Amino acid sequence: VGWFANIPMGEKDPIFGILDAFLNDTNPSKVNLSIGIFRTDDNKPFVLECVRKAEKIIISKNLDKEYCVLLGGSPAFQKHNLDYTLGPDCEYNQPGRNICFQSLSGCGALSMVSQFLSRFFPGRKVVYMSDPTWPNHANVLESMGLETAYHRYYDAETVSLDFCGMMEDIHKIPKRSMILFQSIAHNPTGFDPTPEQWNEIAEEVKKRKLYAIVDNAYQGFASGDSDKDAQSFRILAKHRVKFALCNSFSKSLGLYGERIGSIIFLTDSQDEVQRIYTQFIPLTRANYQNPPLHGRRIVEEVFTNPELSKIWKKEVVMMAGQLKNVRQLLVQNLKEAGSKRNWDFFTTQIGMFSYTGLSPQQIERLSKEFHIYMLRCGRLAIPGLTTKNVAYVAKCLHKVTS
């Protein structure tokens, strides 16, 4: 008998389960609305032109493949990450006021930050999160030894942000706990607080003496403007709320499988920087020894090469624009299909996801009768919509909701 022959069988991952069902469906009209990966309007994988060009330049440089010993990847990678996220004018964007590490994308950043906090956070090791949030948040945080709890965020009745509920709940969080925020394009609801609301949140978090983890997975994707999409945590920084920022280039540079991102801790002194750095050395060694090279070289090339930076900016605008466009088309097509429901939330929500308020039964009908696949919780992944399938999806949405 194998060593693991009697361990409990794990639960099937909801997203991969749906993907399986989608792949096994032979109907030509099938539509996958379950995964947050940007694709072309022909539903083909999309590699950014700036990335293709950067890769050619990198290959032409004949660089070596030795270990990268710097936990931050390189000074250029760190500098550009700081300017991109915090902005050049931020109080914390100067020596002694931050420390920046390379990470295995957003998820790797969350994982390393959680391990670090699990060992060293001096307050309550409980992280409060929005209800709902990306399901992997609880998985990562709990796997690394942190406790999780929830605050209100979404009002199912009105399909909107429950800001009052959120503030009431934050007000009750015991002091010196932790709170996890999604910086922009909230997954799964698609609803974000406004900048004014972020100011209120920042004040309350400061009062409660909470430490924040900021998951920054979609900077640029919401508006097409990376500065605008960084407002939430720039506001937190202005209020001197301390946080660990977990950045991902999976979406903004389309580098999903390259696993490249960064972690930025805000600090008060060079001494604190050194303490974090020296504790990160054994943590990194235990996890992956050294940061990987290729993704970091791509990011660095795009950031430092003005021609590529320009192309990148345009491409982010294009990606965000495509998502906004199909959102509008969906609402328009729902009206044309005869739906009398109010679907305006599709265009007030932003980013890759929409919470639709559809019931599990309606979602089952969509897959069984119409070959349209989305998560049972009602999350619809906008990138699966194209100008070619949006009319069909709208018609079917109308059918299951009328």
Q: Closest separation between CB of residue 295 and ligand PMP, Å?
A: 11
- For ligand PMP, give the closer residue by CB, 217 or 326: 217
Taking alpha carbons only, the member of 230, 165, 245, 240 closest to residue 209 is 240
Binding site for ligand PMP (CB under 6 A): 36, 105-107, 134, 182, 187, 215, 217, 248, 250, 256, 261
Residue 281 beta carbon to ligand PMP: minimum distance, rounded to whole angstroms: 23
Q: What are phi and psi of 72, to 5 degrees?
A: -90, 5
Amino acid at 70: L
The verdict on whether 215 is a catalytic residue reads yes
Residue 245 tokens read as 């920022």
Among 382, 317, 315, which Cα is nearest to 349's? 382
What's the closest the beta carbon of residue 67 comes to ligand PMP, in angstroms?
23
Q: Is 134 tagged catalytic?
A: yes
Scanning 121-159, the segments in alpha helix (DSSP H) are 136-143
State in angstroms the smallest separation of the CB of 158 from ligand PMP: 23
Nearer to ligand PMP, 273 or 316 (CB): 316
Catalytic annotation, pick one of 169, 192, 215, 229: 215
Of 166 and 329, CB closest to ligand PMP: 166
CB of 182 to ligand PMP, least distance (A): 5
Q: Is 206 labeled as catalytic in the residue annotation?
A: no
Catalytic residue of the set 53, 134, 312, 343: 134
Contacts of 88 (CB under 8 A, 6+ apart): none
Q: Which is nearer to ligand PMP, 256 or 392 (CB)?
A: 256
Comparing CA positions, the residue from 294, 296, 290, 289 lying closest to residue 249 is 296
Phi, psi for 342 (deg, rounded to 5): -90, 110
* Closer Cβ to ligand PMP, 334 or 375, answer by number: 375
DSSP-assigned beta bridge partners for residue 266: 98
Query: What's the CA gap between 337 and 171, in Å, rounded?
Result: 44
3-state secondary structure of 20: helix
Kindly name the residue from 162, 251, 312, 343 that is annotated as catalytic: 251
Catalytically active residues are 134, 215, 251
